[in-house]
Amino acid sequence: MSAHYTKAIRGSFFDITAPADSPQQIMRQTRYLDDGLLLIDGGRIISLRPWDEGKSALVDEQAVIDYRGKLILPGFIDTHIHYPQTEMIGAFGEQLLEWLQRYTFPVESQYGCPAHAARMSAFFLQQLLSNGTTTALVFGTVHPESVDALFSAAGRLGMRLIAGKVMMDRNAPDELLETPQDSYRQTRELIQRWHGKGRLGYALTPRFAPTSSPALLAAVQRLREEFPDVWLHTHLSENQQEVAWVNALYPERDGYLDVYHHYRLTGRRSVFAHCLHLEDREWDCLRRTRSSIAFCPTSNLFLGSGLFRLQRCWDKGVLMGIGTDIGAGTSFNILQTLGEAYKVGQLQQYSLAAAEAIYHATLGGARALDLDAQLGNFNAGKEADFVVIDPAVTPLQRLRYGNSQTIFERLFVLMTLGDDRNIAATWVNGECVWQPDNKQQEVA
């Protein structure tokens, strides 16, 4: 008996079928179909079954989109990235605070220009899609125009994207500062314009505590109370100099996280990037409030900020996803980012297994964003976002992949040796939106 579907896709599939609270639980919930059939109706998954079992549901076997020889994963989820910093990725020689002053703020000053914001939004989204990323939590700039441009472009693609205007009223160049009153008004207008439109979501985005006065954080709190289903996206304990600065700016608070917690900015849908230098009480607060962390390994290594403690994250029961953190991060590619995450773990005697890494980049990331009911695996009813990977596109990859015996070995080789060349197609909302032979031209 045939099922109602609009697209049928054949290939090898790997996912994690349910959220996990330990690496061991992840392993018990992996699913691998060497020859599977995915049925989609519009933008939703109808079923994933073995080919021999599922083909009886087909109306026409000739119409199946055949990706045999490829590996299909849920779309990658990037839980922390700055789209305006795309154009200054790979900036030399500084650590966080100096890097912001020398490179980041000058670049971000351009995004009050709608035409520039539109050009860079298109380029940024193409970079995401060409690297297999289908959902992202994104910083704009202080300019509302930066967010309007990004949401407009993402909406045309049908992407699930969460973004927000930076909120910042001190300790930055004058041309990037705003008053708390203007920040509140402009952010409120953006929420009303974009939040919940299609697959778009709004994130309140105070840059970080050093650029936020108490009055600004009070404005963020007011917006969070008015719009309780929006996200909160900021930075936390990335750099030891930054932590000391926050303690000096907010001596009445019990540490960095307490600045945010005092203004009721912790909680479900609150995502804190980095979290390298947390105290035990801060880990406990994150767990208790169900706040989430974005682990950004390439950025942390590039800026010399420190090593994220993967084992502590599991031990404390704190939700976590993977972030590229462009442009301190050095690659849009989640596979490369996972390879660096493995090295961060190795430096602390923690061996990040491939299944766990893929979990953090898919269902774990969705859970960190409070979207695991919509995204992250191939369960029936989920949104049809996925990436098609050619696992062996170079001679070295072919040699090493051919010597791998299990899907877990092959996934590890992919995250160690893989990059954007391995992305064969990216599907968003049940449609193929990127593949190498139809990619859009780069922004001049």
- Per residue in 77-97, pLDDT tens? 999 999 999 999 999 989 999
Pick the CATH number of 76-369 from 1.10.287.70, 3.20.20.140, 3.10.290.10, 3.50.50.60: 3.20.20.140
Q: Please write the tens of the pLDDT for every residue from 184-208.
A: 999 999 999 999 999 999 999 999 9
What confidence score (pLDDT) does residue 443 get? 35
Distances (CA, A) of 359 to 22, 231, 308, 333, 439: 11, 22, 17, 16, 28
Q: 437 pLDDT band (50/70/90 cuts)?
A: confident
Q: Please write the tens of the pLDDT for every residue from 239-276.
A: 999 999 999 999 999 999 999 999 999 999 999 999 99
Q: 438 pLDDT band (50/70/90 cuts)?
A: low
Q: Please write the tens of the pLDDT for every residue from 66-80.
A: 999 999 999 999 999
Check if the beta carbon of residue 18 is closer than 8 Å to that of residue 362: no
Residue 61 burial by Cβ neighbours in a 10 Å radius (0-12, 13-18, 19+):
exposed
Residue 183 φ/ψ, nearest 5 degrees: -60, -45
**Cα 364 from Cα 292, distance rounded (Å):** 10
**Cα 300 from Cα 235, distance rounded (Å):** 12
Span(s) in the chain for CATH 2.30.40.10: 7-74+379-434
Indicate the CATH number for domain 7-74+379-434: 2.30.40.10
- For the segment 316-343, the average pLDDT, to the nearest whole number, is 98
- For the segment 137-160, the average pLDDT, to the nearest whole number, is 98
Amino acid identity for residue 320 in this structure: M
**Cα 235 from Cα 222, distance rounded (Å):** 19
Q: What 3-state DSSP class applies to 67?
A: strand
> Does residue 218 have a pLDDT over 90?
yes
- B/e letters for 362-386, b = 16+ CB within 10 Å, e = fewer, are bbbbbbbbbbbebbbbbbeebbbbb
> Does residue 442 have a pLDDT over 50?
no
Residues in the chain: 444
**Cα 444 from Cα 442, distance rounded (Å):** 6
Q: 114 pLDDT band (50/70/90 cuts)?
A: very high
**69: preceding bond cis by omega (within 30 degrees):** no
Distances (CA, A) of 101 to 91, 108, 117, 176, 304: 12, 11, 21, 12, 17
Check if the beta carbon of residue 91 is closer than 8 Å to that of residue 102: yes
- Of all residues in the chain, the percent with pLDDT exceeding 70 is 98
- For the segment 162-168, the average pLDDT, to the nearest whole number, is 98
- For the segment 333-352, the average pLDDT, to the nearest whole number, is 98
Q: 2 pLDDT band (50/70/90 cuts)?
A: low
The residues near 152 (Cβ < 8 Å, ≥ 6 apart) are 118, 121
> Does residue 228 have a pLDDT over 90?
yes
311: part of which helix (H) or strand (E)? Answer: helix 310-316
- Of all residues in the chain, the percent with pLDDT exceeding 90 is 96
> Does residue 34 have a pLDDT over 80?
yes
Q: 440 pLDDT band (50/70/90 cuts)?
A: very low
**Cα 301 from Cα 103, distance rounded (Å):** 18
- For the segment 340-360, the average pLDDT, to the nearest whole number, is 98
Place of tokens 């929420």: 191
285: part of which helix (H) or strand (E)? Answer: helix 280-289
Asked whether the CA dihedral 428, 432, 437, 443 is positive or negative, the reply is negative
Check if the beta carbon of residue 5 is closer than 8 Å to that of residue 60: no
> Does residue 234 have a pLDDT over 50?
yes
- For the segment 342-348, the average pLDDT, to the nearest whole number, is 98
Check if the beta carbon of residue 429 is closer than 8 Å to that of residue 383: yes
Q: 3 pLDDT band (50/70/90 cuts)?
A: confident
- For the segment 332-341, the average pLDDT, to the nearest whole number, is 98
> Does residue 334 have a pLDDT over 80?
yes
Q: 336 pLDDT band (50/70/90 cuts)?
A: very high
Check if the beta carbon of residue 263 is closer than 8 Å to that of residue 217: yes
Span(s) in the chain for CATH 3.20.20.140: 76-369
Check if the beta carbon of residue 259 is closer than 8 Å to that of residue 282: no
The side-by-side arrangement of strands in the sheet containing 7-16 is 44-50, 30-41, 7-16, 65-74, 386-389, 423-428, 431-434
Q: 1 pLDDT band (50/70/90 cuts)?
A: very low
**Cα 185 from Cα 206, distance rounded (Å):** 14
- For the segment 110-116, the average pLDDT, to the nearest whole number, is 97
Q: 49 pLDDT band (50/70/90 cuts)?
A: very high
Q: Give the mean pLDDT of the chain.
A: 96
**Cα 210 from Cα 166, distance rounded (Å):** 13
What confidence score (pLDDT) does residue 351 get? 97
Strand partners, 211: none
Residue 379: CA atoms inside 13 Å, Cβ hemisphere, count?
A: 15
Q: Is the pTM of this model over 0.85?
A: yes
Q: What 3-state DSSP class applies to 206?
A: strand
Q: 62 pLDDT band (50/70/90 cuts)?
A: confident
Distances (CA, A) of 95 to 88, 102, 298, 306, 327: 15, 10, 13, 11, 13
Output 440 or 142, whichever has higher pLDDT.
Answer: 142
Residue 77 burial by Cβ neighbours in a 10 Å radius (0-12, 13-18, 19+):
buried
